[in-house]
Amino acid sequence: MEQSKRRRLEKAGWRVGSSADFLELSGVEEVLVDMKLTLGMRLRKTREQHNLTQNDLAKRMGSSQSRVAKMEAGDPGVSLDLLVQGLLAAGATRREIASALTTRKKAASA
């Protein structure tokens, strides 16, 4: 139990022993990775819908073709920032980006 939560609850008269809350909290890293994969796939889709090559998009962003390829491939060394920049530069709306964030990635099972 965290300091502040304990403090507040105790002040409110609660007896706070051990607790199993925050159960839903696991897997921050995994969610982040999944988000990046999802956004990468969405980037490819958006780019193709707008008939841009990776090189086209790269120039728009002031980046390079190889980096765009890595974004779309879900390369671990690509930041969310870069993905969002890419999506915006490719013509995706803020709403589309948000929507993609919640859309679970289509697993490419072996």
Partner DNA sequence: TGATAATATGTCAATAATGACATATTAGAC
Partner DNA sequence: GTCTAATATGTCATTATTGACATATTATCA
3 binds DNA (CB under 7 A): yes
Measured CA to CA, the distance from residue 57 to residue 20 in angstroms comes to 47
Q: Specify the residue, 22 or 73, whose C-beta has the smaller distance to a copy of itself.
A: 22
Q: Does 72 bind DNA (CB under 7 A)?
A: yes
Question: How far is the C-alpha of 84 from the C-alpha of 30, rounded, in Å?
Answer: 19
Q: Which stretch binds DNA (CB under 7 A): 12-20, 22-30, 76-84, 94-102?
A: 76-84
Which partner in DNA, a copy of itself, none is near 73 (CB below 5 to 8 A by kind)? DNA
Cβ neighbours for 4, distance < 8 A, ≥ 6 positions apart = none
Q: Which among 2-10, 19-27, 88-96, 102-110 is the span making contact with DNA, rule CB under 7 A?
A: 2-10
Q: How far is the CB of 91 from a copy of itself (least distance, A)?
A: 7
Work out what residue 58 binds among DNA, a copy of itself, none; the CB cut-off runs from 5 to 8 Å by kind: DNA
**Angle (CA) 102 30 36, round 5°:** 55
Instruction: Of 9, 27, 25, give the one whose Cα is nearest residue 17.
Output: 9
Phi, psi angle pair for 64, to nearest 5°? -130, 155
